[in-house]
Amino acid sequence: MLDLTQAYTGCPSSSLQFLHLPRETLLLYPFADSVVVLNARTLAFICALAFWEVFPSTRHLTQSVQCLAVEDGMKLVVASLGHRVVAWSLSGPRNDYWRVHSSLLLPEEQHVTALNCTSGLLAVGTRSTLSVYTLILENDLPTWSLKWSFTVPSLSRVRFSPSLMYIATTSLYDNVVHIYLTTTGRKTQAISHPRPVTDLIWRNSPSSSRDDPILYTITTDATLRIFLPVLDAPQYLQLHSALDTFSSLPFSVASRENNSSIFRLDREVMNAALKSVLAQAQSAEEDGRRRRIREITEEGWDVFLRVLGDGSLVVQAVANIDRRPPTLLKQFTLLQTAPGVLPGPPAHLYIVPNPGRASLTLVTSPPLKSYELAILPFFDARADGLRLQASGAEHADADANEDSRAEVVRFMRTPNGEGVGALRSDGCGEVWNFDWAKTGRLVRKGRWAALEGTERVDHFVVLDAGRRFVTYSSASSLLTLHTTPPATLHVPSIASIFALSPSTHSSPYRTLIGITASYTIVIVSATISGPLPSLVLLSESSLPLPAPPKMILPVDPMAWVGQYGTGTRGVAQAHDVLLSVSEEGELAFWIPEGGLGDHPPSNGPANGANGAAQMVRGREGPTVSWKCTGMVRTGKKGFSMARCSSAKKSVLVVPTSDGAELTIWDSKESEFALGLEYRALLGDAITDLDWAATPDGQSLLAVGFAHRVELLCQQRATYFDSTPGAQWGVCWKVDLSRIVPHPISDSIWLARGTLLVGAGHQLFMFGQRRERRGSLDVEEGKRVGQDESLFEHVARLNGPLDEYHPQMLLQCLLWEKIELVKSVIVNLARNVESGRDIHEWESLSIEKFSQNDEQAKARNAPHRPKYSLLFDIPEQKDDEEDDPFSPSVVKKLLDNLEEKPLPHLTPSENASLLVLIQTALEIEEQRRALDPNGLRYLISMRSFYILNQRASEPSTPASPSSGPAAPPQLTRRERLRYRDMIWAFHSDSQELLLSTSMAACGGKMCWPDARALGVFTWMRSADAMRAHMEVVARNEYMAGDLRDPTACSLFYFALGKAKLVHGLWRQAAWHKEYQVMLKFLNNDFKEPRWRTAALKNAFALLSKRRFEYAAAFFLLGDSLKDAVNVCLRNLSDWQLAVALARVVEQGDDGPILRDILNGTVIPLAFKEGNRYLASWAFWLLHRRDLAVRILVTPLQDMASTIDVPIVEIGDPHYDDPSLALLFSQLKSKTLQTAQGTSEISGRTEFNFVLQIARVFCRMGCHVLALDLVRSWSFQRPSTVVRDGRAALRPPSPVSTRFALEPALRHKSSILIDIDVTTAPPTRRASPSRSPSRGGSPPPTVAKDALKLNDESDLVARKAGIGSLMKSAKQDVKVPEFDMGAFF
């Protein structure tokens, strides 16, 4: 999803080293303070070995690693920096773990200039010595022991011979190759050359018949010389042949060729590849093509490659090197390619094997490139013989000497992310263009150097996709536009600077905003193109804040890049520019009044842009007036970091004693949303924050730590969230701890979801690999498929849902869209059976989501003739054939989904989909007997049992694509949510619900089942409760094989059936308490003495912790209060206490039940933020006005209104769309609920509906959010408006004064449940914004106007409800039914 696509580790300036492994070849080169390790074929970055891991004092030295040597046998990498030497070894079963092997510290004056390591021998050349060390074990630790050391001139190269008998060296100050004996260090020969020697190569050929030394040397004139020993002097090397330009080209051509390079192609690597080609099956036509290859292999030719100045290649061969005695060597040219095969003669060229492939890899440097050499086409001189495989991340024209070796300090990008710059620790920096469309790489466009005598750059701004940039120096307060010619401007001392997004990319003007240390805002106009580039100071201003802020930050513009100051239909839409954060944690968003886009300075020509900002001239010059667009009070203090996204999501980091507290805040603060969306306490220190935006406007947050970057995105809310609220989560991690030891200094988002990370001097770019989408991975031998991009992953986690997603189906069922659910299921069945790709499936039209069930039935009903015979004969046709939603269709769909789950759903979602499809079928079979609330309860109950059943199964359906982390498995729930129970409480089909609940329990409902389903909380009939408690008591007794009377005593005693329990004890002779209980229950408990005895036994049982049996004896002793207390305190089961109270007191008006509700249930509801539970409790307390208000009004305001003492108030939990569903049902159900509704202001209800619509969007149900705001009725019960003009007014969501007749015309009556003669005065309405909730007031004028509107709205509605109550007092005389009224 987010892979390492490029690593900018610097161009190699010296020779390359290779470590050959069984499955790959590693390429290594030194740069800055590290050794860079790449894959030789793909040039993919593998890791970096930092020198300062062994010698921490070298962490910030300006010196670089100079020498590097690799030992294949022991997998050692040896590097030197100054007078220090470090060796690393590669280990692990997959050769992926580097560890420090050993180290060597030389005297400070011995600066290492040459290294070579072979078979436990280490040759070290310094400016004055040549030393040889051997590897020994000292105290079980590998240690380098000095073997010998001699004084020699400054060495540039040192090479061990394959037999380890000789060492060849070159010096920096002469053209002589010196040969030394490895054992003693004695010099045996000095070979002079006419030109400086650029390379030394010992011929290493284990397959050769010769074991005497053979040396190749290459000089600066591109001449390769071959030195062989003679028979009479086997230790003396003699020149036998030389390959120069004239030996490979005609004289006329060679005389003009003054720029070429020659390289030896490793004989062993070549032979292995050639033999693999020859071993392949061949046709008669290919036999001729393989003849040259066969000759090279069988004759044992050494092959050399010369690269000419025009990029053409000349392949030469030398024969007879292995013959004894050495005869005359033969050299000849094998082939010459056309020009342009390579860019030009490289300084270094290597041939490396391709394990498992019949080809070779050619690596050149600089620039660093790898080519695939196809052997047959190459030796046929075909154009496809050499193909570019990969190139280094740096630009091809980059000079290795210009690459900075200083560490990255900070990044800065253009608003659209197509240009980026880096400031380094030494004051220098570079700017790049992100060429995401063509190459997906960074192309360097400019740099500035930290030269002596120049001012150090402290801040910079990147413009025009990296083609222009502006730097600022604090020492001189000088702003410099780096153009030709450059432009400068003296500005006040600024602490930060950034650029606004231009309205058009072709505009020559850019607007820069600088923030000074005193929080003054400096606005500068930059002319970046044209004949005379310039910088002009436009304004200096300050934000109208009552106190200086803690910080002022730019608002990230990535989501609306290119749209600043523009809008639709010609209406300008200004975006926020600045975020100010006060010491108290108050966030304020600011825009300049009048807009602020790219515009020419006041004395320059107009360019037709959006126009300059509104200027207010003062004594000191022009200023810009700033307007606040919103405020959020976070209450956070002492924060260290803050950032703001395009969507006005703000993140704050507050250091605490337990770690860094990271919080994310939304600007849409209201009484229903505090703004806090996410809170996490992180143990690691946060070093960086940066926002990005997806194409659909979602925000992505990159949180940088020392060695990793975590990407946070919004997670889609679900209906079953245990912690409601807009949740954020880590969707991806970028971990650099395994590949680079340097800590991360900065990270920044670029265009198209690309993340650039700086660690040390290295840059790492993470994004989507272009070649991996739907490609075949040759190495793994399997289909990669369509890899999910970061934006696609975020959209899947938080985007709109498919119509068949289980969450969408569940909400449609709850909101009485049964016909829509049937259509979705039928359409899903058709799509599944069609066998088409999931991206080609047909979807339902959006109009179907806006229809209710009646409209959908009318549309789907078959058309019948309008007129028919008086007596129609019913058509003999199967209904199942007419209805596409049939049990057979559903069963077939369930079988298909069980066999092949939908690929983009998690296992839990697939399981939920099956549950809901099965539930929809059961609902369809019973929907005519159930009211809507009963259907909702049935949906919840069916889902509850089926999900618990699936959670108990050993395995669940697996999903082939489960993302980077395994999704959570299904877990069992102990009970239905109170939200689900309240649907049954307000249902008129409770008898059917009770029988369905009994059937769900297998016909044997015990108390745990009744508690899980909330039966005794939602039943309203006292007689039904008594009857059902007897059923529960009987089932408790029959449960198990022992028939224990103690299990049912509590319920039978609550029913007053002590004699029945006595009879049950007669049959329990096996029980150890048989005699005692039989004797005790034989007494008359109507007498006080026996009731007292029962109470004493209850207390004795309490001491034995037999709590349920103790509660039973309290009931036997006629002490309901004590029994209830045991249930509440000892059993922690308030449902059992409510059940006992409602049954014993035979209703809902008893004092014990009221005490339970007031003392336990309501405080518990406030503590958990459960508005459903509080609404149910208020309804039982006959405070139905509060039962409605609690659904909408903030809990803090409700706590101050009611008489119940509230100690703790939990989260508001407004992120539940069923709140709106319940509120719409109850607000006009009775006169009390109408009174409660009247005390909720129109503005509050309007904001409440908007909050629920946002919740729907957070759940991915955008079409349901649209349907909610389209169909919600703000009408309130009131008297009919007689004013004719008022009837013509359009409805207002803020102040609605509808008559009772439009709101309740569909109702036959409104229940009068209040004594209108003694009605209490109406309580104050719930305020629009709670001060304790951190809401920030708008400007004073708007606040007063809003207050006036709300108050007038409230007065009118109070008057309306008062008139309604007065009309309720009058005797309603219903005229007798008159049949003649119909005619």
CB 1226 within 8 A of CB 1187: yes
For residue 149, give Cα distances in angstroms to 117, 130, 157, 185, 1327. 16, 6, 16, 7, 90
CA-based nearest residue to 264, from 323, 321, 195: 321
CA-based nearest residue to 360, from 272, 294, 431: 272
pLDDT computed for residue 558 by the predictor = 78
Residue 1187: pLDDT band (50, 70, 90) is: very high
pLDDT at 159 over 70: yes
What digits encode the pLDDT tens for the residues 427-436? 899 999 998 8
Rounded Cα distance between 18 and 72, Å, is 8
What is the Cα gyration radius of the chain?
42
Q: Tell me, what DSSP letter sits at residue 1157? A: I
Residue 1336: pLDDT band (50, 70, 90) is: very low
Between CA 1373 and CA 1376, with CA 1375 as vertex, the angle to 5 degrees is: 135
The residue-averaged pLDDT of 634-661 equals: 91
Least confident of 619-628, 806-815, 816-825: 619-628
pLDDT computed for residue 938 by the predictor = 87
Q: Which two tokens stand for residue 21?
A: 């492994």
What digits encode the pLDDT tens for the residues 378-402? 988 888 889 999 988 664 444 545 5
For residue 394, give Cα distances in angstroms to 368, 560, 755. 9, 30, 17
What digits encode the pLDDT tens for the residues 933-957? 998 998 888 878 877 776 776 653 4
pLDDT computed for residue 1108 by the predictor = 94
CB 482 within 8 A of CB 469: yes
Rounded Cα distance between 1330 and 942, Å, is 39
Residue 452: pLDDT band (50, 70, 90) is: low
User: Within a 13 Å sphere around the CA of 1039, how many CA atoms are in the beta-carbon half?
Assistant: 18
pLDDT at 416 over 80: yes
pLDDT computed for residue 501 by the predictor = 84
User: Within a 13 Å sphere around the CA of 1316, how many CA atoms are in the beta-carbon half?
Assistant: 16
pLDDT computed for residue 1213 by the predictor = 74
pLDDT at 908 over 70: yes
Long-range CB contact pairs, 60-64, < 8 A, 24+: 60/407, 60/425, 61/33, 62/405, 64/30, 64/31, 64/32, 64/33, 64/405
Rounded Cα distance between 557 and 753, Å, is 14
For residue 1260, give Cα distances in angstroms to 394, 537, 796, 811, 1138. 42, 47, 10, 11, 38
pLDDT computed for residue 870 by the predictor = 47
For residue 231, give Cα distances in angstroms to 234, 235, 238, 325, 327. 6, 9, 11, 7, 11
pLDDT computed for residue 970 by the predictor = 57
Between CA 1034 and CA 1039, with CA 1037 as vertex, the angle to 5 degrees is: 105
Residue 59: pLDDT band (50, 70, 90) is: confident
Which carries the bigger pLDDT value, residue 1228 or residue 608?
1228
User: Within a 13 Å sphere around the CA of 1245, how many CA atoms are in the beta-carbon half?
Assistant: 27
Residue 861: pLDDT band (50, 70, 90) is: low
Sign of CA dihedral 1086, 1090, 1092, 1097: negative
Residue 862: pLDDT band (50, 70, 90) is: low
Adjacent-strand bridge partners of 80: 67, 85
- How many helices (H) and strands (E) would you count in the chain? 38, 60
Share of the chain above pLDDT 90, in %: 47
Q: Which two tokens stand for residue 1132?
A: 């922690």
What digits encode the pLDDT tens for the residues 241-264? 999 988 888 877 887 888 899 999
Residue 231: pLDDT band (50, 70, 90) is: confident
Q: Which two tokens stand for residue 264?
A: 């030896």
CA-based nearest residue to 1349, from 1298, 1295, 1297: 1295
Residue 25: pLDDT band (50, 70, 90) is: very high
Residue 752 Ramachandran class (φ > 0 left, ψ -120 to 50 alpha, else beta): left
Residue 567: pLDDT band (50, 70, 90) is: very low
Rounded Cα distance between 766 and 784, Å, is 19
The residue-averaged pLDDT of 172-190 equals: 93
Q: Which two tokens stand for residue 439?
A: 């190459």
Quick check: helix, strand or coil at residue 752? helix
What digits encode the pLDDT tens for the residues 314-349? 999 999 888 766 667 888 898 999 898 998 899 999
pLDDT computed for residue 564 by the predictor = 37
pLDDT at 1360 over 80: no
What digits encode the pLDDT tens for the residues 509-519? 899 999 999 99
What digits encode the pLDDT tens for the residues 1042-1084? 889 999 999 999 999 999 999 999 998 888 988 899 889 888 8
CA-based nearest residue to 537, from 624, 465, 448: 624
Quick check: helix, strand or coil at residue 479? strand
What digits encode the pLDDT tens for the residues 1110-1124? 999 999 999 999 999
CA-based nearest residue to 11, from 367, 347, 362: 367
pLDDT at 859 over 50: yes
Which carries the bigger pLDDT value, residue 723 or residue 525?
525
pLDDT at 562 over 90: no
pLDDT at 1375 over 50: no
pLDDT at 507 over 60: yes
Least confident of 409-413, 990-994, 1171-1175, 1344-1348: 1344-1348
The residue-averaged pLDDT of 1280-1296 equals: 42
pLDDT computed for residue 117 by the predictor = 96
pLDDT at 1181 over 70: yes
Rounded Cα distance between 450 and 475, Å, is 14
Residue 1277: pLDDT band (50, 70, 90) is: low
Residue 573: pLDDT band (50, 70, 90) is: low
Question: DSSP states of 102-169 as a string?
Answer: EEEE--TT--EEEEEEETTEEEEEESSEEEEEEEEEETTEEEEEEEEEEE-SPEEEEEE-TTSSEEEE
Buried b (16+ CB within 10 A) or exposed e, 485-522: eebebebeebebbbbbbbbeeebbbbbbbbbbeebbbb
CA-based nearest residue to 1244, from 671, 737, 793: 671
pLDDT computed for residue 394 by the predictor = 61
CB 664 within 8 A of CB 672: no
How remote is the C-alpha of 1200 from its chain's centroid? 41
How remote is the C-alpha of 674 from its chain's centroid? 23
